[in-house]
Amino acid sequence: MRNISLCTLTALLLTLFSSGAIAAESEPQKAVLVTGANSGIGRNIAYRLAAEGYFVYAGARSKDDIKELSSIRNMQGVRLDVTVQSDIDSAVERVKADGRGLYAVVNNAGVVVVGLLAETDESELDFLFDVNVYGPYRMVKAFAPLLIESKGRVVNISSMAGIMSPPAYGVYSMSKHAIEAFTDTLAYELGTVGVGVSAIEPGPFNSNAAASVCERRLKQDHDASQSLMPALAAELDEICNATAKYPEPDAVADVVLQVLRSDKPKARYLAPSDPQQAEFIARNIVQQLAELRSGHYYSFSREELIDMLDDALTAE
């Protein structure tokens, strides 16, 4: 055999590596489960993650949705109603049987209820909290062992309504404020075993949530003229025409990817649909801080608050 110089051999090996003839072992594909993946924000997230190379378990309830989701590359539709424990248990067994493990759960499934608090039936709270609060709670309990094993992520889709509470959205805001508290405590607890937990707070985006609200209101035969606050109740009838003007929720999927790819994800991420919403939320938080800073048993000066803000910004 003819002798090959070291330089020639090195050049040959570099050519083989760059051409793919010899490839380094790639990372295993990470699996993510997305609840409520059949429409709106959840669908957008599921499709985006699949396109980015994640394997997505896409939770849905109808057979047609599950079939459609399963036809997408890197995606498997899974029967999953977050209010049904047997569905959740079956999903856990499905993920275990596939042998991929699970890197993340995206708790997206949610519903919206609007109405004046003094006139909202208690059954509406039960319906809302069963999906929006108990649903993520059930999911985390069921999938925690897999997430701890992978040192993965929990992503809770909260809302800007989890930071503030607009009129007629009090019940919905109550559920999303609960998700904010759930996220904070869970981030600390699961953080001790290497799991990152984050809440994403979207603004209004184009989804079927408003249509579902309208459907429920029509079934309940609301009459704004009989309300204790008729002018405000009448404004709720406009919600059916609200979603068409909002953009697709691509920004939310962008943030989910940011959380999954970050070595140290933050506890919360704001995902407004326009800059005015971001400013509104920031001003709302500052207003709350201003209300809490003085006139209390322990108060802070303006300079002390500025120092606190500087410390927080420096720590980012």
For residue 7, pLDDT beyond 50: no
In this prediction the pTM is 0.84
pLDDT for 159: 94
CB 75 within 8 A of CB 69: yes
Q: For residue range 158-176, what is the model confidence (pLDDT) as tens digits? A: 999 999 988 888 999 999 9
Mean pLDDT of 187-198: 98
Q: What is the pLDDT of residues 12-49, one digit of tens each?
A: 444 444 444 443 346 789 999 999 999 999 999 999 99
Question: Does residue 75 sit in the same domain as residue 216?
Answer: yes
58 located within any domain: yes
- Give a yes or no: residue 15 inside a domain: no
Q: What is the pLDDT of residue 61?
A: 95
Domain final residue pick, 238, 254, 273: 273
What's residue 14's pLDDT?
41
105 lies in the same domain as 244: yes
3-state secondary structure 57-69: EEEECCHHHHHHH
Question: Do residues 262 and 156 both lie within one domain?
Answer: yes
* Residue 169 maps to a domain: yes
- 186 and 241: one domain? yes
Q: Is 90 exceeded by the pLDDT of residue 110?
A: yes
Query: Could you tell me if 145 and 293 lie in one domain?
Result: no
243 plus 280 within the same structural domain = no
pLDDT for 4: 47
- For residue 82, the model assigns a pLDDT of 98
Q: Are residues 105 and 216 in the same domain?
A: yes
* Within a domain: 139: yes
**Bigger pLDDT: 9 vs 133:** 133
- Give pLDDT, residue 273: 83
257 touches 49 (CB < 8 A): yes
For the chain, the domain total comes to 2
Cα 270 from Cα 267, distance rounded (Å): 11
Would 10 be classed as within a structural domain? no
Catalytic residue among 57, 103, 169, 172, which?
172
Q: Is the pLDDT of residue 275 over 90?
A: no
For residue 86, pLDDT over 60 is answered with: yes
Assess whether pLDDT exceeds 60 at residue 2.
Answer: no
Output 284 or 211, whichever has higher pLDDT.
284
Q: Is residue 6 part of a domain?
A: no
The answer to whether the beta carbons of residues 141 and 147 sit under 8 Å apart is no
For position 1, what pLDDT does the model report?
Answer: 45
**Mean pLDDT of all residues in 99-118:** 92
240 and 296 housed in the same domain: no
Clarify whether residues 166 and 291 are in a common domain. no
Check which CATH number belongs to the domain holding 266 and give it. 3.40.50.720
* Closest-CA residue to 262 (of 185, 192, 316): 316
Q: Is residue 17 part of a domain?
A: no
What is the average pLDDT across 168-185? 95
* Residue range 292-301: mean pLDDT, rounded: 84
**Same domain flag for 161 and 95:** yes
Question: Does residue 201 sit in helix, strand or coil?
Answer: strand
Tell me if 47 sits within 8 A of 72, measured CB to CB. yes
Same domain for 203 and 310, yes or no, is no
Confidence of residue 238 (pLDDT cuts 50, 70, 90): low
State whether 213 and 241 are in the same domain: yes
Chain mean pLDDT for the chain:
86
- At residue 274's C-alpha, the angle toward residues 272 and 279, to 5°, is 75
Residue 313 token pair: 């910004």
pLDDT confidence of 181, banded at 50, 70, 90? very high
In a domain, 293, yes or no: yes
* pLDDT of amino acid 157: 97
172 counts as catalytic: yes
Farthest-apart Cα atoms in the chain, separation? 98
**Domain region containing 306:** 275-316
The pLDDT > 90 percentage for the chain reads 59
